[in-house]
Copies of this chain bind each other. A is one copy, B any other.
Amino acid sequence: MAVNVCWVLIVLQALLVVLFAVYVRYEDNYDAMKYPLFQDIHVMLFVGFGFLMSFLKRYGFSSVGFTLLLASCIIQWAMLCQGFARLDDDYKIRMGIVSVYKADIAAGVILISTGAVLGRVSLMQLIAMGFLETVVYCINLHLGSEVLRAIDAGGSMFVHVFGAYFGLSVSIVIERTNNADASDEISLRTSNYSSDLFAMIGTLFLWLYWPSFNAVDLTGAEQQRAIINTYLSLAACCVLSFACSILTDNDKKLDMMHVQNATLAGGVAIGAVAGILKQPWVAVVIGSLAGIISVLGYAKLMPILETNFRLYDTCGVHNLHGMPGLLASVASAVIVGVTSETGPPDSLYQDLPGMNSSSDSRALKANLSVFGARKAGEQAGYQIAALTLTMTMAVIGGAITGKLYTG
């Protein structure tokens, strides 16, 4: 960390003070029930991501420390960016508990992208990427959830797909102009006994609190379903990822990286439909598929991408966030599509008891539209449209960011 980074941080923080002074005020409404869920997400972000990346023996302390620094910058910036999208009549941003967990989630997006390039870019580059990516993330989120009104309560598309492909796009661009030896890149990924246990602290807190992440925007029966669907998906994902890890290994041994990462893919894959899915067994199936896809990604696809395409992905975010996010997006289109709003009581997707609540969640608004103006098949199309938009924004945004680095 060089001296010029320090001055950049100080100037950025001063700018943030000015923007807060001009634009940000407090809201008086307070939904105290959201606070414990926010704290779970807060732990996921700082303990979860921080320690998960500490499996990199050479980056143990750095990954925890830099996660803290980077996320501390981004949460302030994200509050502003998200606030500008919904200014009050007096051109002020009203900030409440919702702003806070949404800021945490935005910082999570940046940490996902960071996972793709960790160890190969400087802290200054990470900070630049963070500020830029937050803007693109907010625009994409606004278009996807407010304009296309796609259903994505757990952020499978807007958080995981976006963060993963943005980071991968940065990674592939910087490698084009990087002469480092491939073996160097891969050697980053060495761990030891102690660093593997520290990483498990990250894994467990992500795994345990993921239901809060997928449910925080919802209320009532919808929130309960989001919690339990996520819980089931993660349990099934865990069983399948252990099994597949051994079956795909040449020596039939468990790969630590699979245990630390692939076990979490179930949380990503169920995110989009966590609140609306009324059949628990479907959550179990989606979680199982996510575990299989994620382990195959680590074991089979990643080496091919590295050797054939020079696509390096330090923490394997493509396997943990990218592909399970794609699975979630497709699953959301299928589930919405096969559901008739006049279906039988046990249809996958039906009128929701939570619909009468006062929640203004994105998912709920989207649901209302489904049962209002849109037909089921139509909504399925909008899910795919939102995925397409997200992929496009992420890849182009990442490529531009990467270009800025390499000049």
Q: Which residues does A use to contact B, with CB under 8 Å?
A: 1-3, 5-7, 9-10, 12-13, 16-18, 20-21, 24-30, 32-33, 35-37, 39-40, 42-43, 46-47, 50, 54, 60-61, 64-65, 68-69, 72-73, 75-76, 95-97, 99-100, 193-194, 196-198, 200-201, 204-205, 207-209, 212, 220-221, 223-225, 227-228, 231-232, 234-236, 238-240, 242-244, 246-247, 252-254, 256, 259, 263, 278-281, 284-285, 288, 346, 353
Contact = CB atoms under 8 A, between A and B. Distances in A.
Contacts of A259: 65, 68
A254 B278 CA distance: 51
Nearest to A229: B26
A5 to B, nearest CB: 8
Given A39-B40, A43-B208, A197 B25 contact: no
The 10 A-B residue pairs with the shortest CB-CB distance, nearest first, are A20-B281, A21-B281, A30-B224, A72-B238, A6-B243, A72-B235, A36-B36, A9-B243, A28-B221, A28-B353
A29 B346 CA distance: 17
Contacts of A32: 33, 223
The oligomer's copy count stands at: 3
28 contacts: A3-B247, A12-B239, A13-B243, A16-B236, A17-B236, A24-B280, A26-B228, A29-B221, A30-B221, A30-B223, A30-B224, A32-B33, A36-B39, A39-B208, A60-B193, A65-B259, A68-B204, A73-B235, A73-B239, A75-B231, A76-B235, A76-B236, A96-B224, A96-B228, A97-B227, A99-B228, A100-B231, A194-B194
Given A13-B288, A288-B17, A200 B64 contact: yes
Contact of A35 (B36, B95, B221, B288): B36
Nearest to A29: B221
Q: Which of A37, A42, A204, A256 has the largest number of chain B CB atoms within 10 A?
A: A204
Contacts of A73: 235, 239
A100 B227 contact: yes
